[in-house]
Amino acid sequence: MTPEREAELRALEERLGHRFRDLALLDRALTHTSHTNEALQDAAPHNEALEFLGDAVIGLVVAEMLHERDPDGREGVKSSVRGRLVAARTQAECAEALGIPLLINIGRGARKYGVHTNKTLWADAYEAVIAALYLDGGLPAASQLLRREFAGRLDAPSPFDPGGDAKTALQQLLHKRGKVEPTYLVVSAEQSPHRTHFRAQCLIEGAIVGEGEGYSKKEAQQEAARRALDAVRSRTI
């Protein structure tokens, strides 16, 4: 690890609020498989295995927060909020706020094709960082960050309309304007060890108006619909 890389990771430690005993673990959490592949080191560590663990830790802490807030609340409501908080879009936002995207080790070839701007990659790295926190400092270390990150998001209004459904909101708005219903196209599905990343497009009268990504077709389509909804609201379509 170069002195420059160590300095970057130490700065990230400050933002995470945790001093790592094993800084290499944090570095691994920020290493994409494309970087390992280009280095021709099959045994070199990357973050795919950590993503799976981080996803589970995030789900546990968020569920715990929701239970503490409303122990006897309806399961459906809690599931909806949890789904929003563990979605790729939310995790990508958290990653960006922490400066994680700029620290991801990614292969030159993948960077050339713009993979580093893929927000599902940011979300994956965020999950891996959470796993690194958990492995290095236990559940309290990971929980401390997640509670700080998600506390203000538990009661935040959903970015979708209405009831968290951007597709329905877009359809209703287009209907009011006398337009045909939007259509959705899933354009890619990239398989990782523990899940698939989907990318979808929202088309209005044959034109691509919004694109989205997510860990399910529904999530990717909702993100595409949200972006299309923003576009429709900002200009006359």
Residues 89 and 177: beta-carbon distance below 8 Å: no
Query: Amino acid letter at 147?
Result: R
Q: Phi and psi for 73 in degrees, rounded to 5? A: -70, 165
Give the residue from 142, 144, 145 showing the smallest Cα distance to 98.
145
Active-site amino acid positions:
55, 127
Per-residue burial over 1-23, b = 16 or more CB atoms within 10 Å of its CB, e = otherwise: eeeeeeebbeebeeebebebeeb
Q: How many CB atoms within 10 Å of residue 132? A: 28
